[in-house]
Amino acid sequence: MEKIKNLADLRKMKDNLQNKIDLREKSDSPEAIVQIKVGMATSGIASGAKEVMNYMIEELDKRNIKGLVLQVGDMGYCYAEPTIEVTRPGESPVVFGYVDIAKANEIIEKYIKNGELLDGILPANYESIK
Amino acid sequence: MASYKMHLLVCGGTGCKSSDSMLIVDKLNEELKSHNLVDEAKVVMTGCFGFCEQGPIIKVIPDNTFYTKVKPEDAKEIIEEHVIKGRSVKRLLYVDPKEHARVSDSKHMGFYKKQIRIALRNCGFLDPENIEESIAREAYGALGKVLSEYTPQQTIDKIKKSGLRGRGGGGFPTGLKWELAAKSVAEQKYVICNADEGDPGAFMDRSVLEGDPHSVLEAMAICGYSIGASKGLIYIRAEYPLAIKRLKIAIAQAMEYGLLGKDIMGTGFDFEIELRYGAGAFVCGEETALIHSMEGERGEPTFKPPFPAVSGYLKKPSNVNNVETFACVPVIILKGEEWFSSIGTEKSKGTKVFALAGKINNVGLIEVPMGITLREIIYEIGGGIKNGKKFKAVQTGGPSGGCLTEKHLETPIDYDNLIAAGSMMGSGGMIVMDEDDCMVQIAKFFLEFTVEESCGKCSPCRIGNKRLHEILTKITEGKGTMEDLELLKSLSNVIKDTALCGLGQTSPNPVLSTLNNFWDEYLEHVVEGKCRAGQCTALKKYIIDPEKCIGCTACARACPVNAIEGDKKMPHEIKQELCIKCGSCYEKCKFNAISIK
Ligand SMILES: Cc1cc2nc3c(=O)[nH]c(=O)nc-3n(C[C@H](O)[C@H](O)[C@H](O)COP(=O)(O)O)c2cc1C
Ligand code: SF4
Ligand code: SF4
């Protein structure tokens, strides 16, 4: 191991190691960042929820958006799988149905980034997941 | 590197490790492997979550699901249900003691809601054996900043302005202490970390060292730079093998990365840290005794002044601070002294870690802002008194402290208010007592401890405490007199005034404080021969109700000393002068004819 030579070195190292604990830091104060819950019951997985979840995790990271992607069980919308629930900091959750990769991209660009509402929002008269 | 979608944090503190957490980690890893999930989720062994009574604990990140009392055989279900299907394993969730409902995650647990974690910020968050996780969490960033941007005096000023006071008991302002050591002129000075932690029931220092050793090492180096010392020593009791192991690993890793040792981060500052082991005597936590013990002398206190800041280890200027005090330092540097001093009360800044124990639902380690009330601690964080009993008192400050009662429930807790209430902060033990506890017995319990731990150097402590203990024993045996009560008071005051060190000077506190707050209970013992809590065996009286007794003879046959007389099918009677209060008859009687008075 090469020794850390100065403070800048240490800071660079910290940034490079950040991903080791990033997930934990975000979960520590989830209310401060956008939270995305992906319904992953059997029906959700069959309809492609897993791909949507992976896409969300990777894209948020690539587009430099601080967000937390959570996997949850049945969301009670079997008819509209895959479903995801998005909560922007300080706002009420919004649920989107029939989310595929293209839709996920739109949700990130329009709703998550700018709070613009778009098609595919499911009625909010459901039991909250948590 | 794999980007994990889930972290499974398993508590690896002493409390949980003794209950299987190693095995749990292995099982989880096995299950992940057999389901091909090693790139999806990772298992991390962290320090203590503070909720030891419910351990072993697993916290699942990112959803913060909090599993309690996990067994190795639960690993399979956790992986298959939670990791694969996203459904929590309901039966392992924590049950709220008030609502009797399962709680989904740690963010919704009363135990954590009112806590602010500064000293414990990394406990239960990081793998303490992996310096890279600590670095990711800004470990040594404060040291780097201090070394490259502040002069020693500027650093001291920051600590002074933060209002940080010693967490080892006395509450002495830390910045001021550093300044005194900085002003002493000498070629060699020492930074000493007091990890003796002798207060029975306290384990916050152990938890910090086991869960976040780098914070303490970093703070010691910052202190070294501030006072002009290149050597640090940690005095730790040999009964803390896990903390010692993690400290050794942490020191070796920090040396390897050039964060301790020679020319730290290219600034020319050298700092090395070594461990020194104590045998676990309470008095060795007192700083002068601690220093003598490190020098290989008997662990006995000596008179102050000279203070360690002037003449300490090997007669060189030494700065002694407690583990928790040190753990606050790096955060103060990184987040700023204003941030720290915005938490707490006027004269007590920041947070304090308490070890909550006794008759309370949520037993464990908590960190709360100074100024929180006892009510919030007991009823919100602690989840109330066990089994719905009535709250009676809380002992703070361990054997040197006193008790707080119902009338103190709304008192904001800080150094000065505790002293005003006749107790003290101490190292942060908090033992909760309910209606079934006898306050005379409680005072006797703490005195037993001090008598055992007195080093014997000065007579007020060596002999005085013994006498106090004898009088208390006499009272619990129903032989106490009014003169004894007076003697308790006057003797206590003499010991307080004349003992050499803090141990003796504070040892009568539990007696004085129970006398003050529970005078009527002492009176009952002495005048009425009664112990309302039923704890003083000698004062118990077993009585047979002739109306209820059918003369089955079960009790007479059970009595080991033949104290029960009576003919078959006739009411029986207990000869009180023979009865040894063993309770056998009480348990045997099927007709509820025997009662305890
Ligand atoms: C009998 C006795 C026992 C003590 N035990 C401890 C201890 O276990 N840990 C500790 O940090 N301080 C203990 N102290 C206090 C130390 O003497 C010293 O004040 C403290 O370590 C200073 O650190 P601080 O200013 O950071 O609190 C004890 C004091 C007395 C009188
Ligand atoms: S007060 Fe007690 S512990 Fe302290 S020096 Fe005297 S005998 Fe020893
Ligand atoms: S309490 Fe014990 S000693 Fe006393 S009467 Fe009952 S059985 Fe006998």
CATH topology of domain B351-434: Ubiquitin-like (UB roll) (3.10.20)
Percent of chain B topping pLDDT 90: 87
Q: What is the mean pLDDT of residues B493-519?
A: 96
* Residue B477 predicted with pLDDT over 90: yes
Spatial CA neighbour of B434 closest among B497, B385, B372, B384: B385
B455 pocket-lining for ligand 2 (C-beta < 6 Å): yes
pTM of the full predicted structure?
Answer: 0.90
Pick the CATH number of B540-596 from 3.30.70.20, 2.60.120.10, 3.30.70.3270, 2.40.50.100: 3.30.70.20
Is B439-528 in CATH node 2.30.110.10? Answer: no
Contact B257 A4 (CB under 8 A): yes
Type and span of the H or E element at B564: strand B564-565
Say what the pLDDT of residue B87 is. Answer: 83
The CA-to-CA distance between both ends of chain B, in Å, stands at 70
Distance B285 CA to ligand 1 centre (A): 5
CA B457 → CA B64, B449, B500, distances in Å?
52, 17, 8
Three-state DSSP string of B216-242: HHHHHHHHHHHHCCCEEEEEEECCCHH
Q: What is the mean pLDDT of residues B361-383?
A: 95
Q: Which ligand is nearest to the CA of B220?
A: 1
Atom of ligand 3 nearest to the CA of B580: 3
Residue of A nearest to B257 (CA): A3
Find the range with the poorest average confidence among A90-104, B264-278, B433-447, B474-488. A90-104
Percent of chain B topping pLDDT 70: 99
CATH superfamily of A28-122: Glutaredoxin (3.40.30.10)
Question: How would you classify residue B258: left for phi > 0, otherwise alpha for psi between -120 and 50, otherwise beta?
Answer: left
B301 pocket-lining for ligand 1 (C-beta < 6 Å): no
B461 pocket-lining for ligand 2 (C-beta < 6 Å): yes
CATH topology of domain B6-110: Glutaredoxin (3.40.30)
Protein residue with its CA nearest to atom 8 in ligand 2: B455
Atom of ligand 3 nearest to the CA of B584: 7
Chain A residues near residue B64 by CB distance under 8 angstroms: 27, 30
Residue of A nearest to B126 (CA): A21
Q: B interface mutation test: which of A57, A71, A74 has the most B CBs within 10 A? A: A71
Q: Which ligand is nearest to the CA of B594?
A: 3
Say what the pLDDT of residue A130 is. Answer: 41
* Residue B59 predicted with pLDDT over 90: yes
pLDDT (tens digit per residue) in A7-46: 999 999 999 999 899 889 988 888 889 999 988 776 666 6
pLDDT (tens digit per residue) in B300-317: 999 989 999 999 999 999
Q: Which ligand is nearest to the CA of B165?
A: 1
Per-residue pLDDT band for B1 (boundaries 50, 70, 90) equals very low
DSSP string covering B379-423, please? IIIS-SBGGG--EEEEEESGGG-EEEEGGGTTSB-SHHHHHHTT-
Domain parsing of chain B, residue ranges: 6-110, 131-341, 351-434, 439-528, 540-596
Per-residue pLDDT band for A128 (boundaries 50, 70, 90) equals very low
Find the range with the poorest average confidence among A77-81, B56-60, B170-174. A77-81
Protein residue with its CA nearest to atom 4 in ligand 3: B579
ipTM: 0.83
Contact A11 B126 (CB under 8 A): no
CA B449 → CA B149, B282, B321, B452, B508, distances in Å?
48, 9, 24, 5, 12
CATH topology of domain B131-341: Rossmann fold (3.40.50)
Residue B576: other Cβ atoms inside 10 A: 11
Distance CA(B537)–CA(B531), nearest Å, equals: 9
Spatial CA neighbour of B423 closest among B405, B439, B410: B405
Q: Which ligand is nearest to the CA of B542?
A: 3
Say what the pLDDT of residue A40 is. Answer: 75
- Ligand 1, from B164, B191, B194, B495: best to mutate by most atoms within 8 Å of Cβ? B194
Query: Packing angle between helix B509-517 and helix B439-453, nearest 10 degrees?
Result: 170
Protein residue with its CA nearest to atom 4 in ligand 2: B501
Distance CA(B173)–CA(B20), nearest Å, equals: 41
pLDDT (tens digit per residue) in B18-58: 668 889 999 999 999 999 999 889 999 999 899 888 889 99
Phi first, then psi: give them for residue B321, nearest 5 degrees.
Answer: -135, 155
Chain B residues near residue A9 by CB distance under 8 angstroms: 265
Contact B62 A68 (CB under 8 A): yes
Cis, peptide link before residue B56, omega less than 30° from 0:
yes
Residue of A nearest to B267 (CA): A6
Spatial CA neighbour of A52 closest among A75, A29, A25, A32: A75
Distance B288 CA to ligand 2 centre (A): 12
Contact A72 B259 (CB under 8 A): no
Q: What is the mean pLDDT of residues B539-564?
A: 93
Question: How would you classify residue B569: left for phi > 0, otherwise alpha for psi between -120 and 50, otherwise beta?
Answer: left
Residue B2 or residue B301, greater confidence: B301
- Ligand 2, from B292, B463, B497, B503: best to mutate by most atoms within 8 Å of Cβ? B503
* Residue B103 predicted with pLDDT over 60: yes
Say what the pLDDT of residue B2 is. Answer: 54
Chain A residues near residue B125 by CB distance under 8 angstroms: 21, 24, 28
Contact call for residues B190 and B319 (beta carbons, < 8 A): yes
* Residue B121 predicted with pLDDT over 50: yes
Contact call for residues A105 and A53 (beta carbons, < 8 A): no
Distance B172 CA to ligand 3 centre (A): 54
Q: B interface mutation test: which of A2, A3, A13, A25 has the most B CBs within 10 A? A: A3
Q: Which ligand is nearest to the CA of B555?
A: 3
Q: Which amino acid is at A44?
A: G
Residue B30: other Cβ atoms inside 10 A: 14
Say what the pLDDT of residue B280 is. Answer: 85
Q: What is the mean pLDDT of residues B87-92?
A: 91
Q: What is the mean pLDDT of residues B2-22?
A: 83
Mention every residue, 6+ apart, whose C-beta is less than 8 A from residue B256: A1, A3
Say what the pLDDT of residue A78 is. Answer: 66
Per-residue pLDDT band for A129 (boundaries 50, 70, 90) equals very low
Quote the minimal CA–CA distance from A9 to chain B in Å: 8
**Could you tell me how far CA B178 lies from the centroid of its own chain?**
26
Domain B351-434 and domain B439-528, same fold? Reply is no
Say what the pLDDT of residue B566 is. Answer: 93
Sole residue written with tokens 């060190």: B501
Distance B523 CA to ligand 3 centre (A): 26
Contact B105 A130 (CB under 8 A): yes
Find the range with the poorest average confidence among A91-95, B348-352, B518-522, B523-527. A91-95
Sheet containing strand B272-278, strands side by side:
B272-278, B231-237, B190-195, B318-322
Distance CA(B347)–CA(B337), nearest Å, equals: 14
Residue B342: other Cβ atoms inside 10 A: 12
CA geometry: angle A106, A111, A113, nearest 5 deg: 95
Chain A residues near residue B6 by CB distance under 8 angstroms: 23, 71
Chain A residues near residue B147 by CB distance under 8 angstroms: 7
Average pLDDT in chain B: 94
Nearest to A14 among B4, B141, B148 (CB): B141
Distance B169 CA to ligand 2 centre (A): 17
Contact pairs from chain A to chain B, CB under 8 Å? 103
Whether A71 contacts chain B with CB within 8 A: yes
B334 pocket-lining for ligand 3 (C-beta < 6 Å): no
Interface of A with B in 17-56 (CB under 8 A): 17-21, 23-28, 30, 38-42, 53
Q: What is the mean pLDDT of residues B371-398?
A: 95
Residue of A nearest to B125 (CA): A24
